[in-house]
């Protein structure tokens, strides 16, 4: 890192104590990817920077270099709050939705740009809108997969390239599998016609169409949720912990 002050915008996605009074904070930045920064004395003097360091906060950061070795982690000189997303602190369901969005974006994060804007808009929506449940999260993940280049092929079977009846999706193959090609493909995840229509609608929509996710059967909802989770995990090695999503499912907050 250069010897001068660096100013950037970033969203806090987590932190941990280091020493007695300081924090190591991970931020997703607008144009420099994912960074870990050192907030000296943050636990002792929280009022100086305040909510700018809280998870899910969007802040403007001024960073300074810190020598060599582990000290290469930049030092927080100043952090100014842009958006604290206050509603997240008052509603566990909203907070878990926000943490889930951060979990998923963090797994696929590169240099920022469109993914950063997508996360910032998603956090603002969950903070400001009272109803951002299952359909919103499904759309958020669908758009994330598109922006990161990992969206499933839904128009036709990825094995035979024909538009035959689609019976499931295979993350290892990259998308839809027809009935003729499904036998023997152990990774194919079942998906009925209603679920396929929803996924296609989410992939083509510029936002959330509430009618696309209304009155779904529990079976269809489980199929869609399982497929989207598999597509989140597959590009980064599969079987990735998503604790916020697991907590949401326990609360039943993804069904509203």
No. of H helices and E strands in the chain? 7, 8
| Angle value at C-alpha 140, between 10 and 178, nearest 5 degrees | 140
Q: What is the pLDDT of residue 1?
A: 43
Judged by average pLDDT, the poorest of 62-66, 79-83, 115-119, 226-230 is 62-66
Residues 125 and 215 in one domain: yes
Judged by average pLDDT, the poorest of 173-182, 192-201, 203-212, 214-223 is 203-212
pTM: 0.87
| Angle value at C-alpha 84, between 42 and 24, nearest 5 degrees | 30
Domain stop point among 61, 84, 107: 84
Tokens of 159: 């094995």
- The answer to whether residue 142 is domain-embedded is yes
Do 139 and 202 form a contact (C-beta atoms < 8 A)?
A: yes
Work out the percent of the chain whose per-residue pLDDT is above 70: 88
Q: List the CATH number of the domain containing 27.
A: 2.40.50.140
Q: Which domain holds residue 62?
A: 6-84
Do 213 and 134 form a contact (C-beta atoms < 8 A)?
A: yes
C-alpha distances out from residue 162 to 155, 166, 175, 195, 243, Å: 9, 10, 13, 19, 38
Residues 107 and 47 in one domain: no
Q: What is the mean pLDDT of residues 62-77?
A: 77
Residues 74 and 137 in one domain: no
Please tell me the total count of domains within the chain. 2
- The answer to whether residue 183 is domain-embedded is yes
Q: What is the pLDDT of residue 100?
A: 95
* 66 vs 147 pLDDT, higher one: 147
Pairing of strands 189-190, 166-170: antiparallel
Residues 163 and 232 in one domain: yes
Domain stop point among 84, 119, 135: 84
Q: How far is CA 122 from the centre of its chain?
A: 9
Q: What is the mean pLDDT of residues 217-233?
A: 93
Closest Cα to residue 191, out of 242, 245, 182, 149?
182
Domain stop point among 58, 84, 110: 84
Residues 77 and 99 in one domain: no
182 vs 167: CA distance, rounded Å: 8
Tokens of 105: 């974006």
Q: What is the pLDDT of residue 255?
A: 47
Residues 6+ apart with CB under 8 A from 210: 135
- The answer to whether residue 190 is domain-embedded is yes
* Confidence band, pLDDT 50/70/90 cuts, at residue 12: very high
pLDDT for residue 44 is more than 90: no
Residues 191 and 76 in one domain: no
Residues 143 and 44 in one domain: no
Pairing of strands 6-18, 22-29: antiparallel
Residues 147 and 47 in one domain: no
pLDDT for residue 168 is more than 90: yes
Q: List the CATH number of the domain containing 186.
A: 1.20.1440.120
Q: Which residues of 12-51 are buried (b: 16+ CB within 10 A; e: fewer)?
A: bbebeebeeebbbbbbbbbebebbebbbbebeeeeeebbb
Residues 144 and 185 in one domain: yes
Q: What is the mean pLDDT of residues 70-99?
A: 89
118 vs 25: CA distance, rounded Å: 21
Q: What is the pLDDT of residue 48?
A: 60
| DSSP-H helix ranges across the chain | 46-49, 92-108, 114-128, 134-147, 193-204, 218-233, 243-251
Dihedral sign of CA atoms 17, 19, 23, 25 in order: negative
162 vs 155: CA distance, rounded Å: 9
Calculate the average pLDDT of the chain. Answer: 87
Q: What is the pLDDT of residue 237?
A: 83
């Amino acid at each position: 890192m250069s010897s001068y002050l660096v100013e950037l915008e970033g969203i806090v996605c987590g932190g941990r104590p280091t020493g007695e009074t300081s924090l190591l904070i991970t931020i997703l930045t607008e144009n420099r990817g994912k960074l870990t920064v050192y907030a000296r004395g943050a636990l002792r003097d929280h009022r100086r920077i305040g909510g700018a360091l809280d998870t899910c906060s969007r802040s403007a950061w001024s960073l300074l270099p810190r020598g060599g070795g582990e000290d290469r982690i930049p030092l927080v000189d100043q952090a100014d709050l842009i958006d604290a997303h206050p509603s997240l602190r008052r509603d566990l369901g909203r907070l878990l939705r926000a943490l889930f969005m951060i979990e998923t974006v963090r797994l696929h994060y590169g240099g920022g740009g469109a993914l950063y804007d997508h996360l910032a808009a998603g956090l603002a929506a969950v903070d400001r809108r009272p109803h951002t449940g299952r359909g919103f999260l499904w759309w958020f993940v669908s758009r994330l997969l598109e922006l990161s280049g990992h969206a499933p092929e839904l128009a036709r079977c990825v094995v035979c390239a024909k538009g035959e009846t689609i019976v499931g999706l295979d993350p290892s193959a990259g998308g839809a599998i027809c009935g003729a090609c499904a036998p023997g493909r152990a990774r194919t995840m079942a998906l009925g016609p209603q679920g396929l229509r929803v996924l296609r609608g989410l992939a083509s929509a510029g936002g959330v169409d509430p009618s696309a996710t209304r009155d779904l059967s529990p079976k269809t909802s489980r199929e869609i949720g399982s497929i989207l989770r598999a597509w989140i995990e597959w590009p980064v090695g599969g079987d990735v912990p998503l604790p916020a999503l697991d907590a949401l499912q326990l609360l039943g907050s993804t069904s509203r």
